[in-house]
Chain A
Amino acid sequence: MLEIKNLHAKIGDKEILKGLSLTVNAGEVHAIMGPNGTGKSTLASIIAGKEDYEITAGEILFEGQNLLDLSPDARAREGVFLAFQYPVEIPGVSTTNFMKAAVNAKRKHNGQEPIAAKEFLAMMNEKRQLVELDKSYLSRSINEGFSGGEKKRNAIFQMAMLDPKLAILDETDFGLDIDALRIVADGVNKLRNKHNAFLVITHYQRLLNHIVPDYVHIMYDGRIVKTGDKGLALKMEERGYDWIKEEITA
């Protein structure tokens, strides 16, 4: 589904990704771990299409097509979804209206008519229950005045509405208490199936107790330096990142 080959990217003069390669197949959950500042969030932003970065080498293929040729919105319509580390608050736009625009953009792309009001409401109702999001949040402005946990639940709700092929969770556990973490992880687990894939970016192993990955990648200095199964995440938790740094510099 996703093939990243030797990706190099910089922001200004600073090179952040230095030859990153990664392959994700349908039905898989990949976790990317690593210390701060190694380029994890940059990778997420680049896949989603943020324009602040310059790609200096390499490519990203998504279902065979060059993702870097597509605008962020076109990528989303093709089935890429990013759950932001810091969800944006947008006063004045209700989640309902926002989701209607997003669902209809996807439908238009697939050659479908705009969704009927009744069908849309039923869909909203079903999906919000996945993350135990109260109905009242849907008529409120996007994320405005939401707690950290509510914002992340809203992100998973949006994911459920849009049913992406590839979902990138950028430090979704950041700032969540254990209950919110469980709700978010349960939501993700219910959405997992053999047709979609997840890229879970996290600092800590605890999220991976709930969303169990098939692969764990360790990212350091703009590259993936080690890949293993879920056991690798536990090892990172126990031993920290220093041994990786030593292994690389050795």
Chain B
Amino acid sequence: MSFVNNIDTAFESIDKDTLAEVRESALTSFKALGLPSARHEEWRYTNIKTKLPEGLKLGISSESQVASRLKYFNSIEGTKLVFINGAFSAESSVILEQSGLAVGSLKENSSNHPELFAKYFNKATDIAKENFAALNTAFAQDGAFIYLRKNTKVELPVFIFHIYDSAPTDIFTQSRNLIYVEENADITIVEDFQNSIGEKFYNHVSEVFIGRNAEVNYSLLQLHNPNTTSINYIEARLERDARYHVTTVTLDGKLVRNNVNAYMDGENALATLNGLFIGKDTSHIDNHILVDHRVPNCNSHQTYKGVLDDSSTGVFNGKIFVQKDAQKTNAYQSSKAVLLSDEASMNSKPQLEIFADDVKCSHGAAIGQVSKNELFYLLTRGIDKETARGILTYAFAHEIIAAVKLPELRNYLDEKLKQRLNITI
């Protein structure tokens, strides 16, 4: 694995901004951790080591040719931060002036907000344990910076676009977001990864800090990612009365590993973690979810739905920790998958670790097929088999999209889902 062997040389050559110290320690962590093998419990079903080819290099390439065919959600108004092959593109971005909101490139803002970076950068990830978070912390060059001051309600969403186009196929892009929302503020963030051509590899970390009584609606979209091997971390820390709704929508991808972690740091916080994933061909989609209840009186809900066709595989690993002090926790988890072919497979692993005694925790996991009775019912109305299966799959998957709060985004995703399933209802 060449990039691991040459990691010191690569590290010397990158721009460390104001973050040299934390990067050094992350590099040390990564070197100690290495790449996880399939023997690593958290990577049992996703043998990432074998999926990252020899010759992969760390860095970014801002070389870009095409922007015209990319989907920028023109119909939805909002701030749009565009990163092309990992580098911030000021000319493609649209930054609306909104009072109380500072947005832009992480690289530029690390020097504008040194105190904030010192206090929060790398404080939501665990680089001592997480191989790829450590690698990312050492090497990430750019990403989105979003800072929302207290009592600010941002009406328009902030979009973060990661566009991968004509960059060489041997780059392992490391990108990084820092999102800090102060108390009583409210924001909607839509992060969209688009790879239009060629094989791509990226490792992305988002740290999200949600202040007291603040609300963050976060959608991570993986709608146009064929030939893409991606590792994502969305690490959120919730203070008292915070509300956090995160949705991942994965409609394709060669290998996708989403680590969605929520840490309940303050009482009476609410986290809703939803995910929809649809696999075809040989795609492998792994959702690793963790909700850590550290204090009393918090609520969390995880709802994940998967549809797996052809030889695709899905993984759901949902952890709920309820620490000793987290009395009156209410935690719920549901994972459901539909297999559309005999070769498709799903590994579902719920994991509840409860150390408090007065809690409500429940989980359910189901793996099945399209119901024969429902299918026959649709057929008897003249609907052909392929469409009928599409309609039933849509019916199954739709719940996750229906829960997306931003109406324009919900409609957009609904259309995308229908297209993906080849139905026109």
For window 338-393 of chain B, which residues contact chain A by CB distance below 8 Å?
A: 371, 373-374, 376-385, 387-388, 391-392
Instruction: Please state if A71 and B385 are interface contacts (CB–CB under 8 Å).
Output: yes
Select one of A72, A92, A101, A109 contacting B376, CB under 8 A: A72
Instruction: Please state if B383 and A101 are interface contacts (CB–CB under 8 Å).
Output: yes
In the complex formed, the residue of B with least CB distance to A142 is B377
A91 to B398 Cα, complex, angstroms: 10
- The verdict on A92 contacting B378 (CB below 8 Å), with A98-B425, A101-B383 known, is no
In the complex formed, the residue of B with least CB distance to A86 is B373
Instruction: Please state if B395 and A105 are interface contacts (CB–CB under 8 Å).
Output: no
Interface size on B, residues (CB 8 A): 25
Q: B396 at the A/B interface (Cβ < 8 Å)?
A: yes
**What does the 1/0 interface line of B78-117 toward A look like (CB < 8 Å)?**
0000000000000000000000000000000000000000
Instruction: Please state if B399 and A82 are interface contacts (CB–CB under 8 Å).
Output: no
- What's the least CB distance linking B306 to chain A, in Å? 15
- What's the least CB distance linking A191 to chain B, in Å? 16
Instruction: Please state if A102 and B383 are interface contacts (CB–CB under 8 Å).
Output: yes
Q: A222 at the A/B interface (Cβ < 8 Å)?
A: no
Q: B394 at the A/B interface (Cβ < 8 Å)?
A: yes
Instruction: Please state if A76 and B377 are interface contacts (CB–CB under 8 Å).
Output: no
Q: A88 at the A/B interface (Cβ < 8 Å)?
A: yes
In the complex formed, the residue of A with least CB distance to B388 is A73
Instruction: Please state if A102 and B381 are interface contacts (CB–CB under 8 Å).
Output: yes
Q: A62 at the A/B interface (Cβ < 8 Å)?
A: no
Select one of B374, B376, B383, B396 contacting A105, CB under 8 A: B383
- What's the least CB distance linking B289 to chain A, in Å? 23
**What does the 1/0 interface line of A90-122 toward B look like (CB < 8 Å)?**
111100011011100110010000000000000
In the complex formed, the residue of B with least CB distance to A141 is B395
- The verdict on A109 contacting B380 (CB below 8 Å), with A101-B387, A101-B425 known, is no
Q: Which chain A positions have C-beta within 8 A of B377? A: 84, 87-88, 90
Instruction: Please state if A162 and B379 are interface contacts (CB–CB under 8 Å).
Output: no
Q: A48 at the A/B interface (Cβ < 8 Å)?
A: yes
In the complex formed, the residue of A with least CB distance to B391 is A93
Q: Which chain A positions have C-beta within 8 A of B379? A: 49, 71-73, 76
Instruction: Please state if B392 and A90 are interface contacts (CB–CB under 8 Å).
Output: yes
Instruction: Please state if B383 and A88 are interface contacts (CB–CB under 8 Å).
Output: no
Q: Which chain B positions have C-beta within 8 A of A75? A: 380
Instruction: Please state if B384 and A73 are interface contacts (CB–CB under 8 Å).
Output: yes
Q: Which chain B positions have C-beta within 8 A of A42? A: none
Instruction: Please state if A77 and B391 are interface contacts (CB–CB under 8 Å).
Output: no
- What's the least CB distance linking B281 to chain A, in Å? 25
For window 134-160 of chain A, which residues contact chain B by CB distance below 8 Å?
A: 141, 158
In the complex formed, the residue of B with least CB distance to A75 is B380
- The verdict on A48 contacting B380 (CB below 8 Å), with A92-B394, A92-B396, A100-B425 known, is yes
- What's the least CB distance linking A60 to chain B, in Å? 15
Instruction: Please state if A73 and B385 are interface contacts (CB–CB under 8 Å).
Output: yes
Q: Which chain A positions have C-beta within 8 A of B385? A: 71, 73
- What's the least CB distance linking A132 to chain B, in Å? 21
Q: Which of B373, B385, B423 has the most CB of A within 10 A?
A: B373
- The verdict on A72 contacting B380 (CB below 8 Å), with A91-B395, A93-B394 known, is yes
- What's the least CB distance linking B336 to chain A, in Å? 12
- What's the least CB distance linking B35 to chain A, in Å? 40
A162 to B382 Cα, complex, angstroms: 9
- The verdict on A90 contacting B395 (CB below 8 Å), with A72-B376, A100-B425 known, is yes
A100 to B391 Cα, complex, angstroms: 12
- The verdict on A88 contacting B373 (CB below 8 Å), with A97-B425, A105-B387 known, is yes
Select one of A51, A76, A91, A109 contacting B381, CB under 8 A: A76
- The verdict on A81 contacting B391 (CB below 8 Å), with A73-B385, A100-B425 known, is no
**What does the 1/0 interface line of A30-68 toward B look like (CB < 8 Å)?**
000000000000000000111100000000000000000
- What's the least CB distance linking B21 to chain A, in Å? 51
Select one of B376, B378, B399 contacting A98, CB under 8 A: B378
Q: Which chain A positions have C-beta within 8 A of B381? A: 73, 76, 98, 101-102, 105, 158, 162
A106 to B384 Cα, complex, angstroms: 10
Instruction: Please state if A76 and B395 are interface contacts (CB–CB under 8 Å).
Output: no
In the complex formed, the residue of B with least CB distance to A51 is B376
Q: Which of A48, A49, A101 has the most CB of B within 10 A?
A: A101
Q: Which chain A positions have C-beta within 8 A of B388? A: 73
A17 to B379 Cα, complex, angstroms: 23
- The verdict on A82 contacting B383 (CB below 8 Å), with A91-B395, A92-B396, A98-B391 known, is no
- The verdict on A88 contacting B382 (CB below 8 Å), with A93-B391, A97-B425, A100-B425 known, is no
Q: Which chain B positions have C-beta within 8 A of A82? A: 380
- What's the least CB distance linking A93 to chain B, in Å? 5
- What's the least CB distance linking A190 to chain B, in Å? 20
- What's the least CB distance linking A146 to chain B, in Å? 14
A87 to B388 Cα, complex, angstroms: 16
A90 to B396 Cα, complex, angstroms: 9
For window 401-425 of chain B, which residues contact chain A by CB distance below 8 Å?
A: 423-425
- The verdict on A106 contacting B382 (CB below 8 Å), with A93-B395, A101-B391 known, is yes
Q: Which chain B positions have C-beta within 8 A of A90? A: 374, 377-378, 392, 395
Instruction: Please state if B384 and A105 are interface contacts (CB–CB under 8 Å).
Output: yes
Jot down 29 A-B pairs with beta carbons below 8 A, ordered by A.
A49-B379, A71-B385, A73-B379, A73-B382, A73-B385, A75-B380, A76-B379, A76-B380, A76-B382, A77-B382, A82-B380, A87-B377, A88-B373, A90-B392, A92-B394, A92-B396, A92-B398, A93-B391, A93-B394, A93-B425, A97-B425, A98-B391, A98-B425, A101-B381, A101-B383, A101-B423, A105-B381, A109-B382, A141-B395
Binding site for A on B (CB under 8 A): 371, 373-374, 376-385, 387-388, 391-392, 394-396, 398-399, 423-425
Q: Which 4 A-B pairs have the closest CB atoms?
A: A92-B395, A76-B382, A97-B425, A102-B381
